[in-house]
Amino acid sequence: MTLNIAIIGGGIGGLTAAIALRQKDFSVTLFEQAAKIGEVGAGLQISVNAVRVLNALGLNPQNWPCSKPKSVTLHDYKHGRIVAKVAMNSTADVPYLQFHRADLIENLMQAAIKAGVSLKLGTQVSNITDKAEVADQSFDLVIGADGVRSTIRDQFYDAEKPRFTGQIAWRALVSSNDLPRSFSQNTHVYMGPNKHLVMYPLRDGKLINIVAVEERNTWTDEGWNHAGNADELRHLFSGWCGNVTTLLDAVKDPIVWGLFAHPTLHSWIKNRLVLLGDSAHPMVPFVAQGACMAIEDAWVLADQLAKNADISVALQAYQAIRKPRATKVQETALKSGRIYHTANPLVRGLLHTGMRLSAQMAPAVMAGHYDWIYDHDVTAG
């Protein structure tokens, strides 16, 4: 049966779902509040589990502007001493990629247009019902892909209030022209008391992306794009090793994002309304999986709608497949932030020694810590 489907939200999840659904011959209208793609959002790591989906959709994302990291190196903050180094992209046939969010969105949007999705840009939807009506238009199904601050989730689901995790993420992009030529083009994580900083290249090394996380007692708002103060960021990380200082010296316009933990939703389905991506399972960024989970959701939802003539059966199957995995990733992400930030020097020393020994004596174990995330292939089902 050809369903007429509305998607609210043209982020990573909404656009991927639109492409996947069009490939199954469903009719798709996507509503996005932004009038055009901005440079908002900085870097996104897209791991093999999500790249597999984009490949299965025929998109070949490795041909889009991106970087392909050779390794991730963990360092102690003060002298930059290496705690562990894990090789990446050395053998895998499916690559692990790093994108500027704007490049990923732009390419997904072009693919959606090519696939025949009806795009309604500059359209903020406020009037929907769980009978699949959007602004007085009737559909067979509405997909809520409206992100971490989903109003659809607030309006239709029994969502408990999110809890501030006590952590703030600073995000910034630095042009490689503003750095010494010898500056590393690999992925590095620096771990210190109550803070950590991740740096990785984007657009084939033309930009270096920074995510710096600090702990704070209070924060008021969740979401993108609060302007931060570059001097405050530098002050927070003063006394950190040379690589961090050199990079932060070149930061001009950081943005700050308060990190919130969202209690798991009881259900993602409300009659003819279903959630996908951050609106269903927002997560803190410590395993870099929010967008990847949205991409996996998109594939499974389109697949189940194509396999089941009864929409309710398809939605139940989608939820049964996706909810346990997304919830486990959500919980894992929440725990991971704390490990990086151990303040007690003795405990930190022990943890770092453990990581160093694991990397030397059992590199496969160290590298394989998140295999259950990366090896998963939703396209195989």
Ligand X SMILES: Cc1cc2nc3c(=O)[nH]c(=O)nc-3n(C[C@H](O)[C@H](O)[C@H](O)COP(=O)(O)OP(=O)(O)OC[C@H]3O[C@@H](n4cnc5c(N)ncnc54)[C@H](O)[C@@H]3O)c2cc1C
Q: Which residues would be at the binding site for ligand X (CB under 6 A)?
A: 8-14, 31-34, 44-45, 124-125, 145-148, 151, 169, 171, 211, 257, 277-279, 285, 288-292, 294
Q: How far is the CB of 306 from ligand X (least distance, A)?
A: 21
Query: Is the sign of the CA dihedral 10, 12, 17, 20 positive or negative?
Result: positive
Q: How far is the CB of 277 from ligand X (least distance, A)?
A: 2
**Choice between 284 and 352, CB closer to ligand X:** 284
Query: Residue 142 pairs with which residues in a beta bridge?
Result: 6, 273
| CB contact at 8 A, 150 and 278 | yes
The enclosing H or E element of 291 equals helix 290-307
Q: Please state the closest distance from residue 21 (CB atom) to ligand X, in A.
A: 14
In the structure encoding, which two tokens stand for residue 203, read together?
């657009």
CB nearer to ligand X: give 122 or 354.
122
Of residues 129 and 308, the one with the C-beta less far from ligand X: 129
Q: Which residue is nearest to ligand X (CB)?
A: 11
User: Taking the CB of residue 3, how many other CB atoms lie within 10 A of it?
Assistant: 19
Q: DSSP for 303-364, please give it.
A: HHHHH-SSHHHHHHHHHHHHHHHHHHHHHHHHHHHHHHT---HHHHHHHHHHHHHHHHH-HH
The Cα 159–Cα 182 span in angstroms is: 49
In angstroms, what is the minimal distance from the CB of 48 to ligand X?
12
- Of the candidates 293, 271, 51, 19, the one whose C-alpha atom is nearest the C-alpha of residue 7 is 19
Neighbours of 179 (CB within 10 A): 16
Minimum distance of ligand X from residue 113's CB (angstroms): 16
Q: How far is the CB of 350 from ligand X (least distance, A)?
A: 28
Least distance in angstroms from the C-beta of 143 to ligand X: 10
**From the CB of 301, what's the least distance to ligand X, in Å?**
12
In the complex with ligand X, the residue whose CB is nearer, 202 or 359, is 202
Contacts of 364 (CB under 8 A, 6+ apart): none
Whose Cβ is closer to ligand X: residue 40's or residue 343's?
40
- Pick the closer one to ligand X by CB: 125 or 300: 125
Task: Name which of 98 and 358 has its Cβ closer to ligand X.
Answer: 98
Q: 309 with 2: CB under 8 angstroms?
A: no
In angstroms, the CA 358 to CA 370 distance is 14
What DSSP letter does each residue of 255-278 carry, written as one string? Answer: EEEEEEE-PPPS-SEETTEEE-GG
Q: Is the Cβ of residue 356 or residue 378 nearer to ligand X in the bound state?
A: 378
For the chain, strand residue ranges (E) read 4-8, 27-32, 43-46, 71-76, 82-87, 97-100, 118-121, 133-134, 137-138, 141-144, 163-175, 187-192, 195-202, 207-215, 226-227, 255-261, 269-270, 273-275
Query: Shortest Cβ distance from residue 146 to ligand X (Å)?
Result: 4
Closer CB to ligand X, residue 32 or residue 76? 32
- Distance between CA atoms of 197 and 244, rounded to whole angstroms? 8
